[in-house]
Amino acid sequence: MKLISKRIILKDVTIKDAKSIAENANDYDIWYFTESIPHPYSLENAKKFIRDCMKKQREKPRKSYGFGIFLKSEKKIIGMIDLFKIDRMHKKAGIGYWIGKKYRKLGLMSEAEKTLLDFAFNKLKLNKIKGEAMVENKGSNALFKKFGFRKTGIFKEELIKKGKKKDAYHWELLKRNYKK
pLDDT value, residue 179: 82
- The DSSP annotation for the chain comes to -EEE-SSEEEEE--GGGHHHHHHHH--HHHHHHSSS--SS--HHHHHHHHHHHHHHHT-SS-S-EEEEEEETTTTEEEEEEEEEEEETTTTEEEEEEEE-GGGTTSSHHHHHHHHHHHIIIIIS---EEEEEEETT-HHHHHHHHHTT-EEEEEEEEEEEETTEEEEEEEEEEEGGG---
* Regions of the chain with pLDDT less than 50: none
What domain count does the chain have?
1
In a domain, 106, yes or no: yes
In a domain, 14, yes or no: yes
Q: Check which CATH number belongs to the domain holding 114 and give it.
A: 3.40.630.30
Tens digits of residue pLDDT in 65-79: 999 999 999 888 999
**Segments forming the whole domain that contains residue 64:** 2-130
pLDDT value, residue 53: 94
pLDDT value, residue 35: 87
Is-above-0.85 flag for pTM? yes
In a domain, 102, yes or no: yes
